Amino acid sequence: MDPLFDFTDKVVLVTGGSRGLGYQMVKAFAERGADVIIASRKLDKCEAVADECRALGRRALAVSAHVGKWDECDRLIAAAYDAFGRVDILINNAGMSPAMPSHDVSEQLFDSVVNLNFKGPFRLASQIAKRMYDGAGGAIINVSSSGALMPLPQVVPYGAAKAALNAMSESLAWEYAPHVRVNTLSPGAFATDATSDWSDKPLAIPRGHVGAPPEIVPAALFLASPASVNVTGSLVRCDGGQH
């Protein structure tokens, strides 16, 4: 295995890790030697992914957590450190983007979108970054969206929350340097179950089509690995040139 992408004995925590892009990242790290913590709201889905990783010879912990709520973020952190003693790589991947005309967005929906896409990731990143800083260091990847970089109608709270996530990454990269690297991974349109009804036609993608979920993996591996040792506070687009 290329030593730049050997994650043997590393501990990786992925929120939203039971499906979609999160699942692809969990499996990729486990295949390269990492022990993994899979978090999402549905424990049975997390356990199924954990079983796949254990079949590879990895240690895996499944945790049910709504990471839009700080008490559940704290419970997830406690479970991770109780099980493994540390987190080397945190991937804040959980998110949602229900489409709705802006004038129909309720306060409850607005809060739910902002909490899941920004408030919770801030709690996880800040608390784990401090532990990483006081320990052996680590890497944090905040998964954003092209919706934070381009105008998208009917998902305004989502785009705004992801833009806040982008700014957060830069600030945390400064605050916890030099021991912790914090970067943003910005996917565009990917063909996951959450976007199964999308059409390629209205999307301006130079590559010509939406991404396949495994295509997120190289960018995630790069940002988590020694290959990006001099990369922090950066935003890496994985969107086929979508704009």
**Catalytic positions, please?**
158
Task: Determine the residue type at 128.
Answer: I
Pairing of strands 235-238, 89-92: unpaired
> 132, 177 in Cβ contact below 8 A?
no
Residue keyed to tokens 């049975």: 44
Pairing of strands 11-15, 35-40: parallel
Q: How far is CA 144 from the centre of its chain?
A: 8
Q: Locate all alpha helices (DSSP H) within 57-155, ordered by sequence.
A: 70-84, 107-114, 120-134
